[in-house]
Amino acid sequence: MRTWPLLAALLLAPTAEAFTLDRHGIWLQGAGGFAVDNRGIGPAWQLGGGYWWGNYDRDYALGRYWGLGLTARQDYIRGELSTVPLVELRRGNDLIVAGLHWFLSAGPVIRPEAIGVEGRLGGGGRFRVNPSNSLFIRLEAGGGYVDGLHVGGGLVVGMLWSRPTDGVQHSQ
């Protein structure tokens, strides 16, 4: 039950304006897990990256950000591989070693016999193991059209690398 105060703080905590600067940087992530849709359940993986901007402290530990990126996802359900390149908009908040974010994404669905479109929304959490690397978990759901309407979702766990590229020096 001690995690609820931390989750509440991450969602509601305002950025400490006196300690933050306008910052920007990049992120890269890779994850594996499972996907589910109208056809069933199966393994899934994704790779992604993007650009973020927001207010962070000098040590890149406390701040809120927006992000825009690309995520390539593949699901293997009932012997059929779906490839889904997605454009993703993210909003997140980091508090020392933990962070939460939500996202919206959309893109084409490419299957061996059909091409369609899909949109997803979801959220994720991360735990920093050092200033650049984090373990993360991501839950998503959505729907689209590929030979008919479909709904689906997934859960993945992986690693995220993120760094500022604005040249702000760390405090000593």
For the segment 68-92, the average pLDDT, to the nearest whole number, is 96
Cα–Cα distance, 86 to 106 (Å, whole number): 5
Bridge partners of 53? Answer: 24, 66
| Total domains, the chain | 1
Smallest CA-to-CA distance from 85 within 47, 121, 50 is with 47
User: Using one digit for the tens of pLDDT, what is the confidence trace for 121-163?
Assistant: 999 999 999 989 999 999 999 999 998 999 999 999 999 999 9
Contacts of 9 (CB under 8 A, 6+ apart): 95
pLDDT higher for 18 or 5? 5
User: Per the domain annotation, does 116 fall within a domain?
Assistant: yes
Answer yes or no: pTM beyond 0.95.
Answer: no
Task: Give the side-chain half-sphere CA count within 13 A for 100.
Answer: 12
Q: Which residue has the higher pLDDT, 171 or 43?
A: 43
Q: How far apart are CA 138 and CA 144, in angstroms?
A: 20
120 domain-assigned: yes
Predicted pLDDT of residue 163: 92
Q: With respect to residue 170, please indicate whether it lies within any of the assigned structural domains.
A: no
Q: Given this model, what pLDDT does residue 13 score?
A: 55
Task: Please determine, for residue 19, whether its predicted confidence score (pLDDT) is greater than 80.
Answer: no
Kindly state whether residue 40 falls inside one of the protein's structural domains.
Answer: yes
The answer to whether residue 169 sits within a structural domain is no
In the predicted structure, residue 169 carries a pLDDT above the cut 90:
no
Q: Could you tell me if residue 171 is inside a domain?
A: no
Residue 38 pLDDT: 92
Kindly report the CATH number assigned to the domain that includes residue 56. Answer: 2.40.160.20
Confirm if 164 and 24 have CB atoms less than 8 A apart. Answer: yes
Structural domain includes residue 43: yes
Q: Which residues form the domain of 21?
A: 3-164
* β-strand partners of 121: 104, 141
Q: State mean pLDDT over 44-60.
A: 92
6, pLDDT greater than 80: no
Q: For 21-35, how does the pLDDT look when each residue is reduced to its tens digit (9 = 90+)?
A: 899 999 999 999 999
